Amino acid sequence: MRSNLAEKLDTFEDAPRASRRPYGADGERSRLTTSLTLVAMSMGYGVVQLDVTIVNTALHSIGSALGGGVTELQWIVNAYTIAFAALILTAGALGDRVGAKRVFMAGFVIFTAASLGCALAPDPPLLIAARAVQGIGAAVLVPNSLALLSHAYPDGKARGRAVGIWAAGASLTLTAGPLVGGALIALAGWRSIFLVNLPIGLGALWLTWRYARETTRSTQRHLDLPGQAAAIATLGCLAGAIIEGGAMGWGNPWVLASFVAAAVLGVLFVLRERHAPQPMLPLSLFHNRVFSLTALVGLLVNVAFYGLIFVLSLYFQQVNGFSPVATGLAFVPMLGMVLPVNLLAPRAAERFGARRVIAVGAVLAAAGCAALVFIAPGTPYWAIGLQLVAMGAGLGLLVPPLTSTLLGSVEKSRSGIAAGVLNSTRQTGSVLGVALFGSLLGGSTFILGARASVLISVILLLGAAVAIILASPRRRG
């Protein structure tokens, strides 16, 4: 019996050429065309999330093949995330000005070409550079995929379902990243984790070109290029100071100069955003207590979560001697909990309140981390795996209500920029987590650094729980 999709494809191919256009005579798009737009947008968001976690499994293999220590591995991870975090807001504004379809396709070209560059890189510096370019493509893909998706589904309920599929697909690829990476490395070497992006990119480009509808261009939307430059420089200097501080020493003149530069550039960024006619980051959003503390929670959670993924990836391979495949499997209990708990979290938030659910998720993740404080060489995997389940469940529980709480704290007209701020804040947390925890690994014995990283994660997650409880709107007398 043939599938419904196959029958639709036959109907599509047998239809007159005029009816095969993305738009019908009455201006409505066919269900197939809309569905394929959803597929293309999900591929865009999914491949970005895949590259967040797939690289962690390959770190030991990359280090062995290309040389370099923990510092170089930190830059390989963070070059991608810095560009992603710093550029995502401007990329969304660029899509508004030029057209989301044009910008999305350009982002996929950049991402795919950079992936090929990563696969061909002969040494760490060139791989780091290619990863930075890949991060630029990722920053372009995420906001513009959501803009095109919103444009494709004008009906509110249908759009909500489509966004749910879009987000679920990204959670699935985030979860599958370590396992897919381990399998690819075992079969074809570490370079294959980047080559896998090529068919994804080419397929998504064709689907977008063929089926996605261009958005209306807003020529009055200006780009805050000075603010953007200051944001990239600030985050780069701060991450660089933390990363190199672990390797060169915290009193090193270059490290101290980088901290000073980050502080000065951060002040210049705030001044620019305060006086810019169309700021990249409207600082007025942070006058809202709920918005500010919710964004802070996103930052703290990502510092802990992604910093520990980096630490545990190296622990499993360098200390316990796991293969890439075994390392990928080791993360399945944690990342595998994220998607199912994500689906349960909205109902829990409706019943118990979003802030309570976020706080419980943060405490649950902190409890999982706390049990790893005394991790040592040869610690049985079952003792680690049980804690990873708690950490994954905690993350899955808090992210959906965190997002809805932040979006609900602003006017609907500002929901797009608010979502962008949350994404940027969380990615900044990922950068700082890898930089900080990696520097601890390089500054002392590995195990002492790993234990310190776990302890810091516990403190940050408990701090996130306190922050979200304090985020209740102040009552006016």
For 455-468, the pLDDT digits (tens) are 999 999 999 999 99
pLDDT confidence bin for 21, thresholds 50/70/90: very low
The pLDDT of residue 443: 54
Residue 415 confidence (pLDDT): 67
Structure tokens at 354: 């979003």
Q: What is the mean pLDDT of residues 195-212?
A: 92
Q: How far is Cα 47 from Cα 84, in angstroms, rounded to an integer?
A: 13
Q: What confidence category does residue 442 fall into, taking pLDDT thresholds of 50, 70 and 90?
A: low
CB atoms within 10 A of CB 377: 10
How many CB atoms neighbour CB 351 within 10 A?
9
The predicted model gives 46-52 an average pLDDT of 87
Confidence check: pLDDT of 444 > 70: no
Residue-wise pLDDT for 381-432, tens only, equals 888 888 999 998 998 888 888 888 887 777 766 666 777 788 888 888 888 9
Q: In the block, which residue shows the tokens 């599929």?
A: 165
% of the chain beyond a pLDDT of 90: 30
pLDDT at 6 over 60: no
Task: Check residue 25 and give its pLDDT.
Answer: 39
More confident residue, 1 or 269: 269
Q: Is 203 exposed, middle or buried (0-12, 13-18, 19+ CB in 10 A)?
A: middle
Task: Render pLDDT for 365-374 as a digit per residue (tens, 0 to 9).
Answer: 999 999 888 8
- The CA radius of gyration of the chain, in Å to the nearest whole number, is 22
> Which residue shows structure tokens 């993924």?
309
Q: So what's the pLDDT on residue 265? A: 93
| Three-state secondary structure readout of 205-225 | HHHHHHHCCCCCCCCCCCCCH
What pLDDT is stored for residue 69 in this prediction? 82
Mean pLDDT highest for which of 18-22, 226-230, 411-415? 226-230
CA 9 to chain centre: 34
DSSP state of 372: T
Q: What is the pLDDT of residue 128?
A: 95
Mean pLDDT of 243-265: 89
Distance CA(420)–CA(79), nearest Å, equals 19
Position 1 pLDDT exceeds 50: no
Mean pLDDT of 60-83: 88
pLDDT at 344: 85
Going by pLDDT thresholds of 50, 70 and 90, the confidence category of residue 18 is: very low
Q: Check whether 267 has a pLDDT greater than 50.
A: yes
Q: Would you say residue 136 has pLDDT above 50? A: yes
CA distance 82 to 75: 10
SS3 at position 67: coil
User: pLDDT tens, 145-164?
Assistant: 888 887 787 776 677 677 77
Q: How far apart are CA 136 and CA 228, in angstroms?
A: 13
Separation CA 464–CA 398 (nearest Å): 10
pLDDT, the chain, mean: 83
CA distance 165 to 400: 14
Percentage above 70 pLDDT, the chain: 90
Model confidence over 101-127: pLDDT tens digits? 999 999 999 999 999 999 999 999 999
How many helices (H) and strands (E) the chain has is answered by 16, 0
C-alpha to C-alpha distance for 197 and 193, rounded to whole angstroms: 8
Asked whether residue 361 carries a pLDDT value surpassing 80, the answer given is yes
Higher pLDDT, 15 or 188: 188
- Residue-by-residue DSSP string for 45-86: HHHHHHHHHHHHHHHHHHHHHH---HHHHHHHHHHHHHHHHH
User: Residue 304 has what pLDDT?
Assistant: 92
Model pLDDT for residues 272-330, shown as the tens digit of each residue: 988 888 888 888 888 888 889 999 999 999 999 889 988 998 899 888 888 888 888 88
Using CA atoms, how far apart are residues 166 and 145, in angstroms rounded to an integer?
9
The per-residue pLDDT for 258 is 92
Residues 6+ apart with CB under 8 A from 89: 143, 228, 280, 281, 417, 420, 421, 424
Nearest to 180 by CA among 202, 164, 195, 165: 195
Cα 360 versus chain centre, distance: 22
Banded model confidence at residue 474, pLDDT cuts 50, 70, 90:
low
